[in-house]
Each structure stands twice: as C-alpha cells, then as structure tokens.
Structure 1
Amino acid sequence: MSGVTQVLKVRALYKAILKIHRGLPLEMKALGDQYVKEEFRQHQNASSAEADIFMQEWTKYYMTLAKQIGRRRANVTVGQNLSSELLNCFNEEQIGQLNELLQETQKPRADPFSVDDKS
C-alpha cells in the first residue's frame, strides 16, 4: 500500500471518528475529540506495524461506537470495559493515559443550569 493511500485512510478514519462523536453527549464529545486528536497526532510517525494495529483498534472503536449510538434509543450504554487481556498488552505510558482518562471521566460535572451568584 502506498504512503499516500495510507495517509488518506488515516485521515478518513480520523474524520469519521470526529463525526460519530457528534452523537455523544456534549461532555463525552469534547473529551473524546481531544483524546482522538492527541492519539492521532502522537502516532503520525509510527512504524508500519504500529500503524496497522493503531488503525485496526481505532476502526473497532468507530464500529462499536456507531452501533452503540445507533441503539442508544434502546437504552444501550455507550462504551465498554477493557478486557484484562487487552490491559496486559499496554505499556506503562498507556496505562498512565488510561488512568488520566478515567480520572477525567469521574470529575463532577458542572450543572449548566445553576446560577453562580458571586455578588
């Protein structure tokens, strides 16, 4: 596969993921968009083997999320737990990123309807 073809595939997947994020609640969309942008940026110069795995995993993410968003009206939860097998494949840096992501998702949400009166 030529380098140009690979770049086009990566760009198409990137855009598709950002587009599917539009179906998420606002807080999830913002967090997801930020994470996707950072991950794609960090893997710009990945080796061919790493790039293949990267594309496979992000394609799975896209497909899973598309199914979940499509079924959300039927009270299907968005997201899924990672298997212990998959977690064992991660390096220390990736585990650290997952912990940061977990902490970010557990922060209390600001109530958009509350009025903060500081007068």
Structure 2
Amino acid sequence: MRRSLLRLAESVTSRPLKLQESNATLLPPIPLYRRLLRAHRHLMPEMRLLGDDYVKAEFRRHREVNNPVQLIGFLSQWKAYLDQMPQGSAGEEFRGKKLDPMVLEKLSSEQLGQLYELRNATKEVWKPEDPKDGSSTS
C-alpha cells in the first residue's frame, strides 16, 4: 500500500469515530436491516423477493467485519439505497438508476463478477413492458 494511503487509513482508525455527528446519514446495522426489509414491502413481489434475499445475504457476509472504514462504507451505501426507496406513498414506484462510471471503475474483479451475476438474475425477474403493444421485451 502506498505511504499516503497507509497514513490516511491510520488517521481514520486511530481517532474515535463520531457517529453522533453522522447520525442523520448512518443507521446502526440492525435498524438499517429492518428498514430495508420494510421498504421492500412496497415493491412488486418478484422484486421484493430478490431484494430481500440480496439484503439478507449481504448483511450475513458482513456480520464479522471489524474494520471501521469498511463498516461505514457498507452502512452508508445501504442507507443511500434506502433513501432511494419509495416510502409507502400510493402510486410511487421504485426506479433504479445507472451506476456511476467512477464507482464502476473502482470495483474489484470479484465485485464485477457479483454485479454481472446480479444483472443476469434480475433480467428474468424484471422485463419492462413495450409501450407500443403492452408486451414484455426480451
């Protein structure tokens, strides 16, 4: 690791985290997990099933992480996802968004593989309707 990155990592882990200040943006893991599953109640059944399984698997994988930098990154990304979800108002529909190219460049090969698998899994579940004739497109 380069010296500057090592110094940056040390500065983050050596001083105490001020979670009280970032309370508006971060939630503790268990309340965040519960809110995510509640937010999925407003999705179509197929999307809800896929989303719930994915959230459960990701939180299970990160259960033993002790690195504060990784934890904050994990929690902040899931909180950003939660903020995009519909909050239960009638007629509000969840619309995804394109992945930022800068974020895509930073993904590891393992993460790119997971993203590819997720993309293939969602193709079968989510097929947008063709506005001309109302049928699904492939």
1:65 match:
85
- Per the TM alignment, residue 77 of structure 1 is displaced from its structure 2 partner at its CA by 4.9
Q: 2:51 matched to which residue of 1? A: 32
Aligned equivalent of 1:10: 29
CA displacement at 1:66 relative to structure 2: 3.0
Q: In 2 relative to 1, CA 108–79 (structure 1 residues): closer, same or farther, beyond 3 Å? A: closer
How many residues end up aligned between the 2 structures?
101
**Is the contact between residue 65 and residue 79 of structure 1 (CA under 8 Å) also seen in structure 2?**
no
Indicate the structure with greater helix content.
Answer: 1
TM-score (norm 2): 0.65
The counterpart of 1:45, out of the listed 50, 64, 70, is 64
Q: In 1, Cα distance between the equivalents of 2:28 and 2:55?
A: 15
1:18/1:33 contact within 8 Å kept: yes
1:82 to 82, 99, 117: 99
What is the rounded CA distance, in whole Å, between the counterparts of 2:69 and 2:32 in structure 1? 17
Stretches of structure 2 lacking an aligned partner (at least 5 in a row): 1-15, 18-26, 127-138
Bigger relative contact order, structure 1 or 2, given CA contacts below 8 A and separation 6+? 2
Distance 1:30 1:106 in 2: 14
Structure 1 segments (4+ residues) deviating >4 Å: none
1:94 aligns with 2:111: yes
Q: Percent identity?
A: 33
Q: Is the 8 A contact 2:47 2:125 kept in 1?
A: no
Query: How far does residue 89 in structure 1 lie from its aligned partner after superposition?
Result: 1.7
